[in-house]
């Protein structure tokens, strides 16, 4: 069921005051309301779901979808099949579709009703969280008509041993820092418990099925890092492209940011994708209007996911070809078309510099120090700018194109250091800035200027337009970064 349909259904449901037991709101609509039929339905979905891969560590949390079972339950079953056994506490962090929530909305009652049996609430933990009034509030209206938590209960009751208690949290804040604070606070409160985190969120809303798959596989690849900041950036980059009919990347983005932060506080260090589809790929779906669904496990592996974009030989070759294609089009007064790649790796955000040389001499080098677009778009931008907009050189001519040599550098996030002593020759790229002036040298420049004093002096004078000894000035801000570089065969 689409988000719009869910909101319409919620509007038709009778409003009711807060009660000790939160009663079912979508039983008989999102899933069967009769206990026997529901138990049989959930069992069938779990039986049909493939066995999960061997995970690299224990499961701390799950990402699961929350649409009507006909659409999303096969994917949800893939997540729930990765957990079983006894838990003290299950925290379900869902998207708040029906009420505005400042940070995190709890429900301070006795239980959540389900056709398969009531689920008691962990009132001691809820009371503890409610003491943090800046982040948590008892807000029954955010739960009474909300489906994102309710639809998870039949799967939890089917997979886990009886006796667990529930902490229901609904969120929709647009402030990522607030969401992360909620998650860290929650994680700290769960450290002495055997707890399972469940994040309830659907993915992209309403693009075509083909576009949904591109967008979703990109954001899920970013999510594998369990880096809330990078995940948030990926969603912003995807939305900034203004793809047709893409209303959002995650309806539960806030709950996912909080869930990631909580999972990391409990030792999770990577996400493992267990399943993906979108509504357009289901029997009842519309090809031109899709919602994405994913199953992912957040695991404690002891081997954190890499924070770098690691490219295969084929991916490097594709990006180097894109540089030449962009320059060739530029010579004809055209720009390379901007479209999401079928390869999600090329859609991840990245800071990129493109370097052009001719007969071993620099011919152009431009890029960005921060990730502002997809890797593919950043390479196209750097290629065009290095060829035609580097103020140190005349624009590249058609005759020069065959003589150019191309190198692409992916930059790590720049980190401030206390002074020039922290700069490591042949390893660090450096950014110097002071009073509105700034300059950057890639690590490759060490090959031409191996002495640190000369390297930093040239950076000050040549690139930043500052005195050559500005690197000694305490007012000068110094940042360092590393690169992953690749080039055409020489």
Element (H, E) at 367: strand 361-367
Beta pairing class for 119-120 and 351-358: unpaired
pLDDT 10s digits, 68-92: 999 999 999 999 999 999 999 999 9
Q: Kindly report the backbone phi and psi dihedral angles of residue 14, in degrees, each rounded to the nearest multiple of 5, phi listed first.
A: -70, 135
Q: Superfamily assignment of 3-299 in CATH?
A: LigB-like (3.40.830.10)
Tokens of 303: 């081997």
Residues 349-375: what's their mean pLDDT? Answer: 95
Q: What is the pTM of this model?
A: 0.91
Element (H, E) at 123: helix 123-130
pLDDT > 60? residue 1: no
Residues 325-350: what's their mean pLDDT? Answer: 95
So what CATH class is 415-485? alpha beta
pLDDT 10s digits, 144-182: 999 999 999 999 999 999 999 999 999 999 999 999 999
pLDDT 10s digits, 123-142: 999 999 999 999 999 999 99
Mean pLDDT of the chain: 94
User: 355 near 442, Cβ under 8 Å?
Assistant: yes
pLDDT 10s digits, 320-336: 999 999 999 999 999 98
Cα 180–Cα 181–Cα 186 angle in degrees, nearest 5:
100
Q: Tokens 């360092």 correspond to what residue?
A: 480
Q: Kindly report the backbone phi and psi dihedral angles of residue 338, in degrees, each rounded to the nearest multiple of 5, phi listed first.
A: -100, 110
Q: Superfamily assignment of 313-408 in CATH?
A: Hypothetical protein ph0010; domain 1 (3.30.700.20)
Domain boundaries, the chain: 3-299, 313-408, 415-485
pLDDT 10s digits, 198-243: 999 999 999 999 999 999 999 999 999 999 999 999 999 999 999 9
Task: Report the pLDDT value the prediction gives residue 19, as an integer from 0 to 100.
Answer: 56
Cβ contacts of residue 170 below 8 Å, gap of 6+? 93, 94, 95, 96, 99, 101, 104, 105, 139, 142, 143, 146, 148, 149, 255
Task: Report the pLDDT value the prediction gives residue 6, as an integer from 0 to 100.
Answer: 43
pLDDT > 70? residue 16: no
Q: Work out the pLDDT band at 377, boundaries 50, 70, 90.
A: very high
Task: Report the pLDDT value the prediction gives residue 490, as an integer from 0 to 100.
Answer: 84
């Amino acid at each position: 069921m689409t988000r719009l349909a869910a909101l319409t259904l919620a509007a038709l449901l009778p409003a009711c005051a807060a009660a000790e037991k939160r009663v079912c709101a979508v039983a008989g609509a999102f899933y069967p309301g009769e206990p026997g039929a529901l138990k049989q339905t959930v069992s069938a979905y779990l039986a049909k779901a493939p066995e999960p891969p061997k995970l690299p560590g224990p499961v701390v949390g799950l990402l699961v979808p929350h649409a009507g079972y006909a659409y999303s339950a096969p994917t949800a079953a893939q997540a729930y099949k990765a957990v079983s056994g006894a838990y003290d506490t299950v925290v379900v962090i869902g998207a708040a579709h029906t009420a505005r929530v400042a940070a995190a909305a709890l429900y301070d009652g006795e239980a959540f009703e389900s056709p398969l049996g009531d689920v008691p609430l962990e009132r001691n933990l809820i009371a503890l969280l409610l003491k943090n009034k800046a982040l948590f509030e008892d807000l029954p209206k955010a739960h009474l008509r909300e489906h994102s938590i309710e639809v998870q209960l039949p799967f939890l009751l089917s997979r886990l041993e009886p006796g667990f208690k529930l902490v229901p949290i609904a969120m929709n804040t647009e402030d990522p820092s607030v969401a992360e604070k909620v998650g860290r606070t929650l994680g700290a409160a769960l450290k002495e418990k055997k707890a399972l985190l469940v994040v309830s969120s659907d993915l992209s809303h309403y693009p075509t099925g083909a576009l949904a798959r591109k967008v979703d596989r990109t954001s899920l690849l970013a999510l594998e890092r369990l880096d809330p900041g990078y995940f948030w950036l990926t969603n912003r980059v995807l939305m900034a492209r203004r793809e047709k009919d893409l209303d959002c990347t995650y309806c539960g983005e806030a709950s996912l940011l909080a869930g990631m932060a909580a999972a990391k506080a409990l030792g999770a260090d990577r996400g493992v994708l267990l399943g993906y589809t979108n509504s357009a790929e289901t029997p009842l779906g519309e090809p031109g209007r899709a919602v994405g669904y994913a199953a992912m496990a957040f695991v404690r592996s002891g081997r954190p996911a890499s924070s770098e974009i690691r490219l295969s030989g084929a991916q490097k070759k594709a990006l180097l070809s894109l540089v030449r294609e962009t320059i060739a089009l530029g010579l004809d007064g055209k720009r390379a078309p901007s479209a999401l790649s079928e390869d999600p790796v090329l859609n991840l955000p990245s800071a990129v510099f493109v370097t052009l040389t001719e007969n071993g001499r620099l011919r152009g080098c431009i890029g960005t120090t921060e990730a502002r677009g997809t890797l593919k778009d950043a390479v196209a931008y750097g290629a065009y700018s290095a060829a035609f907009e580097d103020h140190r050189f005349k624009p590249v001519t058609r005759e020069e194109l065959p003589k150019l040599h191309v190198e692409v550098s992916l930059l790590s996030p720049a980190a401030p250091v206390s002074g020039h002593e922290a700069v490591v020759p042949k390893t660090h790229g450096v950014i110097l800035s002071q009073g509105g002036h700034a300059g950057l040298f890639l690590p490759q420049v060490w090959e031409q200027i191996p002495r640190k004093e000369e390297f930093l002096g040239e950076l000050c004078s040549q690139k930043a337009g500052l005195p050559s000894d500005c690197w000694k000035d305490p007012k000068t801000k110094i940042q360092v970064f590393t690169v992953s570089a690749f080039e055409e065969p020489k």
